[in-house]
Amino acid sequence: MSALIFASFVQASGDLQALGAWWVYLLWIPAAALLGFASAGIFAGLLHLPRRIFLIPYVAVVSLALYIFMNWSDLSLIELLQHNWFGSRGAALVGCLWFATSSRSLNPGAPQGPPWCLICSGAGSCTA
């Protein structure tokens, strides 16, 4: 509904208003930050949910917010990932390496060493 109102507002007011319409997208940034902090405060602070349980409603709320934003702005997540395939795959690789190294540092029994030892640890060539 808001996308329809926004689109009709931009079309009716001409090119000068369309150039200034970018600021409407900036309002989503503090709204998303507020939603993230509020949901974390409610689920972890007020309800005292453990981390494993906390992630279920938190991911649901954040996913719903992303879905609403994508529909409001008429963006396609699939097209964005296909168009920016190099960056999305690089971000996934960096995220996987970060997760693997951070989970190793949290587990005292895991072998420690540089992140590239995750790749070559089976070869036995990495030392801590």
What is the distance between the alpha carbons of residues 71 and 49, in angstroms, rounded to a whole number? 31
Task: Mark whether 93 and 56 lie in a shared domain.
Answer: no
Both structure tokens of 65: 């917010």
Tokens matching residue 110? 């895991």
pLDDT of residue 37: 92
Q: Give the global pTM.
A: 0.56
Containing structural domain, residue 41: 2-75
Q: What is the pLDDT of residue 38?
A: 93
- 60 and 28, same structural domain? yes
How many whole angstroms separate alpha carbon 88 and alpha carbon 83?
9
Domain count, the chain: 2
Over the chain (128 residues), the average pLDDT of each successive run of 10 is 48 49 85 92 90 89 92 85 83 83 64 58 50
pLDDT of 35 reads 93
Q: Are residues 15 and 69 in the same domain?
A: yes
| The last residue of a domain, from among 32, 48, 75 | 75
Same domain, 7 and 67: yes
User: Are 45 and 8 found together in one domain?
Assistant: yes
7 and 61, same domain (yes or no)? yes
Q: Which residues are within 8 A (CB) of 24 and not within 5 positions of it... i.e. 6 or more apart?
A: 6
pLDDT at 5 (0 to 100):
45
